[in-house]
Amino acid sequence: VQLVESGGGSVQAGGSLALSCASSGDTESSYCMGWFRQGPGKEREGVAIIDGDHITTYADSVKGRFTISKDSAKNTLNLQMNSLKPEDTAMYYCAADASPLARRCRMETGSDYNYWGQGTQVTVSS
When pLDDT is averaged across residues 83-87 and rounded to a whole number, the result is 98
Report strand pairing: 3-6 vs 115-116: unpaired
pLDDT digits (tens, 9 = 90+) for 8-52: 999 999 999 999 999 998 888 899 999 999 999 999 999 999 999
By percentage, how much of the chain surpasses pLDDT 90? 92
Looking at residue 28, what is its pLDDT? 86
Report strand pairing: 9-12 vs 120-125: parallel
pLDDT at residue 88 tops 90: yes
The SS3 call for residue 110 is helix
Looking at residue 27, what is its pLDDT? 85
